[in-house]
A and B are shown apart, each in its own frame.
Chain A
Amino acid sequence: MAEQLVQIDNKPPSGEWRDPKVEFRKGVFCYSAQPKNVTYLGMANPRQWQPFDADWKLPSDWKEIILEGLKDRLKKYRSFRLFMDICVRCGACADKCHFYLGSGDPKNMPVMRAELLRSVYVRYFTASGRLFGAGRELTEDVIKEWFYYFYQCTECRRCSVFCPYGIDTAEITMIGRELLNLIGCNINWILEPAANCFRTGNHLGIQPHAFKDSLEFAADELEEITGIRVELPINRKGAEILFVMPSADYFATPHYFTLLGYMTLFHEIGLDFTYSAFASEGGNFGLFTSHEMTKRLNAKIYEEARRLGVKWILGGECGHMWRVLNQYMDTMNGPADFLEEPVSPITGTRFENARSTRMVHICEFTADLLYNDKIKLAPKRNDDLAVTFHDSCNPSRAMGLLEEPRYILRRACNRFYEMPENTIREQTFCCGSGSGLGTDENLEMRLRGGFPRANAVKYVKEKHGVNLLACICAIDKATLPTLMDYWVPGVQVAGVHELLGNALVMTGEKERTTNLRGEPLPAEVTHA
């Protein structure tokens, strides 16, 4: 099957892009949102339907709703109006999108994805459209086309790096999805986590007792490996720091081993912190729904920090979570004047860059510890791993968190190799499953979208024998293993703090014979 998919056809596109007809073929789209989730979130038009149905059961005034919504957003977002107006179609973005590179579908070129919406904007909101009929008429087929292509964009912002005007397709896709949500065209893989998150505090719908069970189970495992029992403060008032992570960290693999990594670290440095069963999710599928939903789901983090009376907040490894925390949280739900400017209790370092939002990325925190030699590492324990680092889209292109994770990896692993420069750092390729598209019914498109990333991993695997792909994103950890199994078998996926936890020498630990996964350590370590 791999051979079939390699036949990626980037032949000259033909046909007329104005024709909106799309085919909802199995494997390349996501199923619709269940009515119960739409209803729970109080969103529009809950109903049973599927994208391959001929009748999408849109509300009778769907066209007015969309045009009114478009008008409203043109007024509210300079980015949106500007990006609708100034594209010159130079084509620099064309081959920068992983979905275009993997699918060869010309409407996956960022410029064309934007044009699907721009053509409607031109028809209804500009002089050339109103007077001379430029652009395209808004029809039900256009709505279906939007749905197809706006849920075939992972909002990774790679195109925006190359655009001479900084036009960001993520902005356009986000607005496009907001519009689709107004008439009830949404996908379950996004709305179910969002509904869960609204109710229980996390995407997976884990209730407080199960949250605690899960952490206890992790502590048990860690005790077996290290001989040390770590503490599990939950909803503890008066702690210095609130720690917020993506829920997958305590309920999915290989995320779980990253959690073990956090636990070893927090115990070793004696951090005064607490987990929260309420703010039990840093991720935010509202980001893939609407700006309003982002704010609704994000609110609990500051609310919980205030309730518990902590000084500041520490955030775990997650990509889109950090997009929200870095670029939206303070604006949406701040000011965080009830918190204090973050200072590392171990090193005394003041995190100036988080002075207002008062939330620090765990990689910033750990890199600072390492720089100040506050923890002891035995990188030999990772010697059976040849590691490369996948920059997650959001920490790289919406934050610039590039060196911190690399610093940790270089200290924790002896064998670290970079992928080719056009595929890392700000030019990193998405896993192909971000922004809520990581569902199994969409597998073919995910594998296609992830192809450029996998291809770069294959390169370092062949060149350096890389067998581990490190990353700092929960969606990566959930979807890269499938991608690797398919395109580059033999490469595992791990969080940066899993590798740190492997290497971390804990005070009073027993002689470790396995890594955090329970796999035997390299022979030279155990027999040294």
Chain B
Amino acid sequence: MSVVFAAAGPVTLLGFALEGQEATAGQILLWVAVPYAALTIFLAGFCYRVARWAWSPVPFRIPTTCGQQKSLPWIRPASLENPSTGTGALARMTLEILLFRSLFRNNRAELHNGQHVFGESKLLWLGALAFHWALLVIVLRHLRLLVQPVPAFVAVLARWDSFFQIGIPTLYVSDVVVVCAGLYLLLRRWHDPLVRYLSQFADYFVLFLLLGIAGSGILMRYGTRVDLVSVKRLALGLATFHPVIPDGLSAVLLIHLMLVCTLAVYFPFSKLMHMGGVFLSPTRNLANNNRRTRHINPWNYAVKTHTYAEWEGEFREKIKAAGIPLDEAESGGTTSTD
């Protein structure tokens, strides 16, 4: 990994075209080299981690079944919660990934006068879902900076996202949601004593990082009013591998960019890899057809067992006395047929 890191910087600098402008080495480093290096690390690291999971075998078929199995024809199976086919498993995964199905089950166990009560607890689900969807919308919206002409769906998305038409520039709903949901997730870690106990530095760090990115982005859009044309020139230059450093790039933009780069570099080494991992979880992405179709373990190996012949050998007299049929002839001549 460190090799990639070391190589990415110089290579990018070599291929860098100045387009006749005067840029200092420092500018090139920050606006061009670091983003390319970060992107390289992100892509290489992400692929490496996912490939490593994908290459490890799945020796056993171990879906967690969350509903009725498919057995007798007159019993209705829970085809989404306990899929018996690949299509069903795909549908289950779709629900997990797009709607966080399992998190939706969440409840809160509390003792009231010696009686367990399982209260509704959908806030975590709502907060997490809102956070992730808002992040996705924001990432997709950024395509308008990276692609020319702007894809139609990005324009439509931005129009929907500014549905409420508040202020100028119009307020994006996703910006509000990502900050609110992010703050909720952060405050929850502090506020809930259980979650505070189990939270680690890394858990806070990614939230701060994502909120920092969102905050600096929001500041540019609604506060310092960044020069969009130059941002787009920069972004498009990077995206088309013809980097330029236009005039008028602000310090906030640099902060925003550096935070994004930090995130990209940190991503493959962190729990954020759940983004790739969620697709590969063997308790969710396998159909519960264990008894219908044999699952193969690639490293299945022979083990020492206690065979029937050994068993009969040890207990022969007792088996005979009990009148239970023996395999071996009374004379003791032949052995078990298998």
Contacts and interface: CB of A to CB of B under 8 A. Distances in A.
A163 to B, nearest CB: 6
Interface in A222-261: 234-237
A513 interface: no
B68 A106 contact: no
B336 interface: yes
Given A89-B200, A208-B324, A168 B291 contact: no
A209 interface: yes
B227 interface: no
Contacts of A81: 52-53, 56
Contacts of A397: 64-66
A126 B71 CA distance: 43
Contacts of A398: 62, 64-65
Contacts of A68: none
A353 B338 contact: no
Interface stretch (B12-20, B112-120, B161-169): B112-120
A296 B305 contact: yes
A356 interface: yes
**A contact residues, range:** 35 or more
B106 A92 contact: yes
Interface residues of B, number: 99
B3 interface: no
B58 A300 contact: no
A354 interface: yes
A213 B322 CA distance: 8
Given A165-B278, A367-B72, A404-B72, A8 B304 contact: no
Interface string A1-27: 000001010111110010000000000
A10 B69 CA distance: 35
A161 interface: yes
Contact of A399 (B57, B65, B106, B293): B65
Given A295-B303, A306-B338, A404-B71, A94 B194 contact: yes
A88 interface: yes
Contacts of A160: 64, 283
A128 B1 CA distance: 12
Contacts of A11: 193
A88 B109 contact: no
A106 B278 contact: no
A278 B308 contact: yes
B56 A76 contact: yes
A154 interface: no
Contacts of A213: 322
- Majority secondary structure of chain B interface residues (helix, strand, loop or mixed): loop
B70 interface: yes
Contacts of B57: 76-78
Contact of B281 (A12, A82, A403): A82
A164 B116 contact: no
Central interface residue in B49, B54, B72, B305, by most chain A CB within 10 Å: B72
Interface in B76-131: 76-78, 81-82, 84, 96, 100, 102-103, 105-109, 111, 114-116, 118, 124, 128
Contact of B195 (A42, A91, A367, A403): A91
A485 interface: no
Interface string B137-154: 000000000000000000
B197 A278 contact: no
A17 B67 contact: no
Interface in B279-338: 280-284, 288-297, 299-300, 303-308, 311-312, 314-315, 318-319, 321-325, 327, 336-338
B192 interface: yes
Given A17-B198, A109-B198, A328-B60, A89 B271 contact: yes
Contacts of A307: 308, 327, 336-338
Given A94-B198, A303-B307, A330-B290, A364 B116 contact: no
A426 B106 contact: no
B233 to A, nearest CB: 36
Interface string A139-165: 000000000000000000100111111
Contacts of A331: 59-61, 294-297, 300
A353 B197 CA distance: 44
Interface in A392-424: 396-404, 407, 420, 422-423
A332 interface: yes
Contacts of A359: 291
Interface in B177-198: 192-198
Listed from nearest, the 9 A-B pairs whose CB atoms lie closest are A12-B193, A400-B69, A86-B277, A166-B283, A400-B65, A422-B118, A357-B291, A166-B284, A209-B322
Given A14-B197, A296-B303, A459-B115, 11 more contacts: A76-B56, A88-B274, A109-B198, A166-B96, A200-B315, A295-B303, A307-B337, A326-B290, A327-B60, A367-B72, A368-B72
